[in-house]
Homo-oligomer: A and B are copies of this chain.
Amino acid sequence: MAKKYIDINTLKFQLFDVHELESVLSSNYYNQHDVESINLFLESVKDFSDKELHPHFVEMDTQPAYFKDGKIIVHPVVETVMKKGGELGIIASPIEMEDGGLQLPLAVHTIAYTIMEAANNHLLGYPGLTLGSAELILSFGEENLKEKYVPHMLTGEWAGTMCLTEPQAGSSLSDVTTTASPQSDGSYKMNGQKIFISGGDHQYSDNFIHLVLARIDGAPAGTKGISLFVVPKNRIAEDGSLEFNDVVTAGDFQKMGQRGYCTAHLMFGESDDCQGWLIGQAHHGLKYMFQMMNGARIAVGRGAAAIAMAAYHASLEYANERPQGRKIASSGKKDVTAEQTLIINHPDVRRMLLLQKALSEGAICIVMQGAHYHDKMKAANDHQEKKKYNLLLEMMTPIVKTFPSEKGIESANNGVQVLGGYGFCSEYILQQYLRDIRIFAIYEGTTGIQSLDLLGRKMLMKGGKGAHLLAQEINGTIMSAMAYDELKPYAKTLGINLKRIADVMEFLTAFAQKGDFERFISDATIFMDFMSTIVAGWQWLKMATLAKEALVTGNIKYENSFYESKIHAMKFYFKYEMTKTQGLAEVLMDEEVLTVAKGEEVIV
């Protein structure tokens, strides 16, 4: 296995320089932390990852989670990440202090999880969903629900999950059929099945706190009739002991990757004895769940970026150690008597490595931009300011989820290719990264769903205000970059692309205005590719501008080569990736519609 799975300096550059952590640390909300305490936290997370998580990464793949005798059995390191991780604060980190959390900025939490996920991506869903469930209960649950469940969750003693998907409904939450019947004691009797429940059952938690979408008897059809319930695997009896709450594990889905992260099939109320407690108001469940879902979407983007970076370092290490072939001389021939060169010196290998770097670091930068907006929102005292950052976060969320997932797959795929035949072999780690990362474009709403969200909702919301704010942000970076001659051409290219977004939106919204909403939305996924490619270009220009500034002012924290490599990767990204946007715009503005089914035409 590769020796290095993450570059800490790159993450610190992201956290402190590119996404200006100190600008939120100065706020009342976050001022109990400082740079030093945060560095200490991140060091302990890195140490934990090195010693406790990374060593078990391959085992989690070769000894996957499995279902036996009604139980799911997972690798023992799951206990480590929950209990020791809980002690370390990885579940409590972004939670408010008055609720027992550390109230750390999401940006810090994101970097901490990125380190751990790069070390072992099969693990972080366990504490991550526990945290998300706790946050949801804290946000919308009644006091007694908070008191009963949250403290046990923040320590990692109990686990939390989100239960949305049902076999017949898939991504279509309108069709959720799990039922909840009101009982005289104020609880509900639950009945239904949920599938694809990540971390839904295993031997290392005394209890599982499931957040379940269901319909109260007589609820309206569609998403407007969905309510949210806390349904523990074991309910708390009068005497405080745990008693089985009729949540039965029916199986564990076996998968091509992330095999150590279990995926449960759960049955609620098979014996008619499953109790649930309503969160917030009836029929408003989906709205509440979206808080957790948005958090989970950011987490998915982060996980994908982490895997892509780990894969990059594994490929880079191989390319720096493996001699093969020779450089081409000016004659076009090779001198076969010369020593072999390291493969990193072959332009095509270097291209693939730079592509991995450009996509994976571009990906984490996008995730961090989202986290930064979250923190600015929390830190803001002013209501308008809060709304602004909330809108920016909403704009970014589908991109934060999708760019790292889609481009991360491409990046890891190139990582396999760097190793040639060895990349495909089980004894090298690249194939595992590729298998693991594949699910990220599916988790928490597929790329198709995220794309509908971006084009169909976010671009248009509040009269296009979110899109306008985002364009302003991008323009700010363009202005900063224009200060440096070396960066000017790239700043101009980014400007051209901002204009291109406006052109595409003008063309597409005409369809929505005419009522041809299906046409408007039909190439949403192409729009996502187009838009997120530009957003990543924005992030790279931002990184390059800060790197250039550091080099010019001499105000540097790392080697010169560190900053130079960021500028080089930016140029690479603009040359090889930003050149795709024109073709994508052409697709989006093509008059011909080829994917909207008119009748019963056969694809054959």
Residues of A within 8 A of B (CB): 7, 10, 165, 169-172, 174-175, 195-196, 221-223, 253-257, 316, 322, 324-332, 334, 336-337, 340, 344-351, 353-354, 357, 409, 413, 416-417, 420-421, 423-427, 431, 434-435, 438-439, 441-442, 446-448, 451-452, 456, 512, 515-518, 520-526, 561-562, 564-565, 568, 571-572, 575-576, 579-584, 586-587, 590, 592, 594-597, 601-604
Q: A331-B517, A446-B420, A517-B328 are in contact. Are A602 and B561 (CB under 8 A)?
A: yes
Q: Do B350 and A316 touch across chains, with their CB atoms under 8 A apart?
A: no
Please indicate the chain B residues that have their CB under 8 angstroms from the CB of A524 in the complex: 348
15 interchain pairs, CB-CB under 8 A: A165-B421, A253-B425, A256-B425, A327-B518, A328-B521, A331-B515, A332-B520, A346-B448, A348-B448, A348-B524, A349-B448, A351-B522, A562-B604, A568-B601, A580-B583
Q: Do B325 and A525 touch across chains, with their CB atoms under 8 A apart?
A: no
Q: Do A196 and B575 touch across chains, with their CB atoms under 8 A apart?
A: no
Q: Pick the contact of A424 from B170, B257, B595 — CB < 8 Å? A: B257
Residue of B whose beta carbon sits closest to that of A515: B330
Please indicate the chain B residues that have their CB under 8 angstroms from the CB of A572 in the complex: 594-595
Q: Do A442 and B426 touch across chains, with their CB atoms under 8 A apart?
A: no
Q: Do B603 and A517 touch across chains, with their CB atoms under 8 A apart?
A: no
Q: A417-B441, A518-B328 are in contact. Are A604 and B7 (CB under 8 A)?
A: yes
Q: A344-B603, A515-B331 are in contact. Are A325 and B417 (CB under 8 A)?
A: no
Q: Do A420 and B442 touch across chains, with their CB atoms under 8 A apart?
A: yes
- The distance in angstroms between the C-alpha atoms of A434 and B412, with both chains bound, is 14
- The distance in angstroms between the C-alpha atoms of A2 and B452, with both chains bound, is 29
Q: Do A590 and B575 touch across chains, with their CB atoms under 8 A apart?
A: yes
Q: A253-B425, A316-B603, A562-B604 are in contact. Are A172 and B349 (CB under 8 A)?
A: no
Q: Do A329 and B603 touch across chains, with their CB atoms under 8 A apart?
A: no
Please indicate the chain B residues that have their CB under 8 angstroms from the CB of A351 in the complex: 522-523, 525-526, 595
- The distance in angstroms between the C-alpha atoms of A581 and B331, with both chains bound, is 30
Residue of B whose beta carbon sits closest to that of A593: B347
Q: A446-B417, A518-B327 are in contact. Are A332 and B456 (CB under 8 A)?
A: yes
Q: A354-B603, A525-B351 are in contact. Are A575 and B562 (CB under 8 A)?
A: no
Please indicate the chain B residues that have their CB under 8 angstroms from the CB of A196 in the complex: 421
Please indicate the chain B residues that have their CB under 8 angstroms from the CB of A568 in the complex: 594, 601, 603
Shortest Cβ distance from A317 into chain B, in angstroms? 11
A344-B603, A579-B583 known, 6 other contacts, Cβ within 8 Å = A10-B604, A172-B324, A329-B517, A348-B595, A417-B442, A582-B582
Shortest Cβ distance from A162 into chain B, in angstroms? 14
Residue of B whose beta carbon sits closest to that of A348: B448
Please indicate the chain B residues that have their CB under 8 angstroms from the CB of A521 in the complex: 328, 347
Shortest Cβ distance from A184 into chain B, in angstroms? 31
Shortest Cβ distance from A484 into chain B, in angstroms? 16
Q: Pick the contact of A174 from B256, B326, B423, B439 — CB < 8 Å? A: B326
Q: Do B255 and A426 touch across chains, with their CB atoms under 8 A apart?
A: yes
Q: A172-B340, A357-B603, A579-B586 are in contact. Are A332 and B512 (CB under 8 A)?
A: yes
Shortest Cβ distance from A347 into chain B, in angstroms? 4
Q: Do B424 and A442 touch across chains, with their CB atoms under 8 A apart?
A: yes
Q: A446-B420, A582-B583 are in contact. Are A426 and B571 (CB under 8 A)?
A: no
Q: A255-B424, A603-B316 are in contact. Are A594 and B354 (CB under 8 A)?
A: yes
Residue of B whose beta carbon sits closest to that of A558: B604
Please indicate the chain B residues that have their CB under 8 angstroms from the CB of A515 in the complex: 330-331
Of A7, A322, A575, A582, the most chain B CB neighbours within 10 A belong to: A575
Q: A172-B325, A256-B434 are in contact. Are A336 and B221 (CB under 8 A)?
A: yes
Please indicate the chain B residues that have their CB under 8 angstroms from the CB of A451 in the complex: 348
Please indicate the chain B residues that have their CB under 8 angstroms from the CB of A571 in the complex: 592, 594
Of A324, A336, A357, A601, the most chain B CB neighbours within 10 A belong to: A336
Residue of B whose beta carbon sits closest to that of A357: B603
Q: Do B424 and A350 touch across chains, with their CB atoms under 8 A apart?
A: no
Shortest Cβ distance from A340 into chain B, in angstroms? 7
- The distance in angstroms between the C-alpha atoms of A464 and B564, with both chains bound, is 40
Q: Do B601 and A561 touch across chains, with their CB atoms under 8 A apart?
A: yes
Residue of B whose beta carbon sits closest to that of A320: B603
Shortest Cβ distance from A117 into chain B, in angstroms? 18
Residue of B whose beta carbon sits closest to that of A345: B597
Residue of B whose beta carbon sits closest to that of A349: B448
Q: Do B255 and A350 touch across chains, with their CB atoms under 8 A apart?
A: no
Please indicate the chain B residues that have their CB under 8 angstroms from the CB of A409 in the complex: 413
Shortest Cβ distance from A443 into chain B, in angstroms? 8
Q: Pick the contact of A517 from B170, B330, B434, B526 — CB < 8 Å? A: B330
- The distance in angstroms between the C-alpha atoms of A520 and B586, with both chains bound, is 29
Please indicate the chain B residues that have their CB under 8 angstroms from the CB of A602 in the complex: 561, 565
Q: Do B425 and A324 touch across chains, with their CB atoms under 8 A apart?
A: no
